[in-house]
Chains A and B, each alone.
Chain A
Amino acid sequence: MAQEGKPSEPGSETDAPADAPQADARATTSSSLSADAEKDAQVEAAKARVTAAKEAAQKTTLPAPGAPKPPVKKKEEGPKPVDASNHPLVKKLKEKLADGVIEATEFLGQLSIRIRRERILEACRALHDDGDTPFDYLSDLTCVHWPDNREAPFEVVYNLYSIPKNERVRLKVATNGDGIESVTSVWPAAEWPEREVYDLFGVVFSNHPDLRRILLPPDWEGHPLRKDYPLEFVENAWTERHLPEFTDVQREQVEQRRTYGLEILSVPQEREVRDLFRAEKEVMPKDK
């Protein structure tokens, strides 16, 4: 193809659409027309070449090298929980508790039963004393905070296991934190997990033999696993009461260490750092 800005060679096959304007240009040159007319002819020739190239590109079916790839086909959605109302264990529970069972779902072979808060002790007792599948082992007792669920923001979860039958079931109870019946009378092992839930979420268990904090100090304020409690270490009333005071310089040094990821503070580590500060020792670790 002829270079842009130059007239094509006569007889060039590749510039077929531009032949007529070129012929015109030659004619005008021979008739001593002005340089402007020559330029016009060159522009016309270039336009004709562009049009020809566009038409040729439209005819080709292959995508241009820089063109975006076609969208990737979406993967099929994963498994979803299904209704398990017909599960034999659920049927048995419904016979005993009637309206105590709110719903039952099964997800990847795991059975979950939602129980009314008032009936949880009965449900646990029924499952524990069941003749066919006695759930004699409380595998875990934990809690989830759902702050958007205003009426019952806490969901206490009981993971039960039947040792003789090798079966598992999960009970869920929604509560507002005011109170839920303790299951220590059914499984004495529930004592510490219930204390942990009380400590970290603030859910109160009625009829618990010894309901007090288990991980945090007794005079700690707040419940750290609630969603309205920030994860990071913050100076609070407890640290002010129990830990030595920081000077402004020390506080800034700790802030710097935290910024550079040198300090992952827990309370005992915080104490050590403060001891180091008090002894006026070098707290910044040397590079190895």
Chain B
Amino acid sequence: MSPKEIAAHYEAKVFDSPEAAAQAGFTLTETHAPRNVWNKASAAQSLLLKLREQKEKGDVKEIGLVIEPWKVIGCYLPNESTAQPAA
């Protein structure tokens, strides 16, 4: 599967650039710079599997993936309830 298909499989939002993700309120995580399409798909899947775990724990609200020609970056939308500072 291509990174876009993998993102669709894990219900992750796809962004073209880190700026677009940041503008949508997403926080960037790891960056991978794969050298070929197989590594790119693998990088996308490894990032999304880690983010999926966080989503299932309730730490993040939404997960996403920034797909650039030579870079894949994971990102997430913080959960508002956990992001709020303790009173």
Contacts and interface: CB of A to CB of B under 8 A. Distances in A.
Interface of A: 147, 227-232, 234, 255, 258-259, 261
Contact of A232 (B34, B45, B49, B50): B34
In the A-B complex, the 8 residue pairs with the smallest Cβ-Cβ separation, listed nearest first, are: A231-B42, A228-B49, A230-B46, A231-B39, A232-B39, A230-B43, A228-B46, A232-B34
A258 B39 CA distance: 13
Contacts of A259: 35, 70
Interface residues of B, number: 14
B33 interface: yes
A169 B50 CA distance: 36
Interface of B: 32-35, 38-39, 42-43, 45-47, 49-50, 70
Contacts of B43: 230-232
A230 B50 CA distance: 11
Contacts of B50: 228
A231 B38 contact: yes
Nearest to A148: B9
Contacts of A229: 46
A230 B49 contact: no
B58 to A, nearest CB: 16
Contacts of B46: 227-230
Contacts of A230: 32, 34, 39, 42-43, 46-47
A231 to B, nearest CB: 4
B35 A258 contact: yes
A87 to B, nearest CB: 34
Given A147-B49, A230-B32, A230-B43, 6 more contacts: A147-B45, A227-B45, A228-B46, A231-B34, A231-B42, A259-B70
A228 B35 contact: no
B70 A232 contact: no
B42 A261 contact: no
Contacts of A232: 32-35, 39, 42-43
Q: Which of A227, A228, A230 has the most CB of B within 10 A?
A: A230
